[in-house]
């Protein structure tokens, strides 16, 4: 990320290769997070399936119309968030060992619409490892992937806006694409602390100069699922009843889940 040469690489179109489902090299592990009590009720992307693991950008699905990427510090809860949104416990690899997701993991959420689980940052021990990971895959993906409609940055609510988060935000902001921050593991702090941190992070990001929104999220308690889904569906072009004034999806998913998210 520190390599400004790489960051300024002009966007170029990517080869259009058709995605072929392959088996993930990593076996999904149990998350330890209980499945929803009410299957079908509070998971807004129920058709989500693992599609493919991509080690080189040119292998990314060529048929993609829109995709949303999940990025953040290692162990912040990216894979858990994807599992939670899909309502499946073993879809994205969830690990107690930071840094297990090293490639781009593609999940199909609807025809030609994808979630992309990105490698966690802040795990590599040596600066050259960070550089290698960034220059090789993460940087070019975020810089050139035209189908990327928005970036979800996951931050552990107990330590939001780390130096790496700021670097990511400041680097990504000039692309003009939207950013949505999930303050994850909200269940780990009190309600009062949640409110305080949410307010503080919003204030800190106010001057960034790019469209950035922030919310509380917990995969464990399923907090904030509907709110997150509203943003992602809009980015993916999956809501046809978007209200012009508010920009919010008034559809059945948002309405049905409001009660669940009060937690």
76 binds, among Mg ion, ligand GTP, none (CB under 5 to 8 A by kind): ligand GTP
The total of other beta-carbon atoms located within 10 Å of residue 146's CB is 12
DSSP classification of residue 140? H
User: Judging by DSSP bridges, how do beta strands 104-110 and 49-54 pair with one another?
Assistant: antiparallel
Tell which one of 6, 36, 90, 95 touches ligand GTP (CB under 6 A).
95
C-beta of residue 132 within 8 angstroms of C-beta of residue 1? no
Which option in ligand GTP, Mg ion, none does residue 21 bind, with CB closer than 5 to 8 A by kind? none
Contact of 88 with 108, CB cutoff 8 Å: no
Task: Say whether residue 101 binds Mg ion (CB under 5 A).
Answer: yes
Cβ 92 to ligand GTP shortest distance, Å: 7
45, two tokens: 């992307």
- Interface segment toward Mg ion; rule CB under 5 A; list 79-87, 150-158, 195-203, 231-239: 79-87
User: Contact with Mg ion (CB under 5 A): which of 53, 75, 79, 143?
Assistant: 79
Looking at beta carbons only, is 99 or 150 nearer to ligand GTP?
99
Count of CB atoms situated within 10 Å of the CB of 245: 5
3-state secondary structure at position 216: strand
CB of 228 to ligand GTP, least distance (A): 12
Q: Give the Cα separation of 122 and 85 in Å (integer).
A: 24
Judged by CB under 6 A, the residue of 108, 184, 194, 230 near ligand GTP is: 184
Tokens 């510090």, residue located: 73
Site residues for ligand GTP, window 110-169 (CB under 6 A)? Answer: 120
Q: Is residue 84 near Mg ion by the rule CB under 5 A? A: no
Judged by beta carbon distances under 5 to 8 A according to partner kind, the member of Mg ion, ligand GTP, none in contact with residue 77 is ligand GTP
Cα 229 to the chain's mean position, in Å?
Answer: 11
- Report the first-to-last Cα separation within the chain, whole angstroms: 36
HSE-up of residue 246 (Cα within 13 Å, Cβ side)? 8
Helix (H, G, I), strand (E, B) or coil at 214: strand
What x-and-dash track marks residues 1-40 binding ligand GTP by CB under 6 A?
A: ------------------------------xxx-------
Give the interface segment with Mg ion, choosing from 13-21, 99-107, 173-181, 222-230 (CB under 5 A). Answer: 99-107
Give the residues lining the site for ligand GTP (CB under 6 A): 31-33, 72, 74-80, 94-96, 98-101, 120, 184-185, 187-188, 218-220
């Amino acid at each position: 990320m520190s390599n400004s040469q790489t960051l300024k690489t002009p966007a170029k179109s990517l080869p259009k290769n058709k995605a072929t489902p392959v088996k993930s090299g990593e076996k999904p592990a149990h998350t330890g997070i209980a499945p929803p009590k009410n299957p079908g009720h509070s998971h807004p992307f129920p058709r989500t399936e693992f599609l493919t693991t991509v080690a080189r950008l040119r292998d990314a699905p060529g048929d993609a119309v829109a995709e949303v990427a999940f990025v953040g510090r290692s162990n912040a809860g990216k894979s858990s968030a994807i599992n939670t949104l899909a309502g499946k416990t073993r879809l994205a690899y969830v690990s107690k060992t930071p840094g297990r997701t090293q490639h781009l993991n593609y999940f199909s959420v609807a025809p030609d619409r994808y979630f992309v689980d990105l490698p966690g940052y802040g795990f590599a021990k040596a600066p050259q490892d960070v550089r290698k990971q960034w220059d090789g895959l993460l940087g070019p993906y975020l810089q050139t992937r035209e189908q990327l409609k928005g970036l979800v940055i996951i931050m552990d609510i107990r330590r939001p806006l780390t130096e790496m988060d700021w670097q990511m935000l400041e680097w990504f902001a000039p692309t003009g694409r939207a950013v949505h921050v999930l303050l994850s593991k909200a269940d780990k702090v009190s309600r009062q602390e949640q409110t305080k941190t949410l307010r503080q992070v919003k204030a800190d990001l106010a001057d960034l100069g790019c469209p950035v929104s922030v919310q509380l999220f917990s995969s464990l308690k399923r907090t904030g699922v509907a709110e997150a889904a509203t943003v992602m569906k809009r980015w993916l072009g999956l809501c046809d009843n978007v209200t012009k004034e508010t920009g919010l999806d008034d559809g059945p998913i948002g309405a049905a889940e409001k009660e669940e998210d009060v937690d």
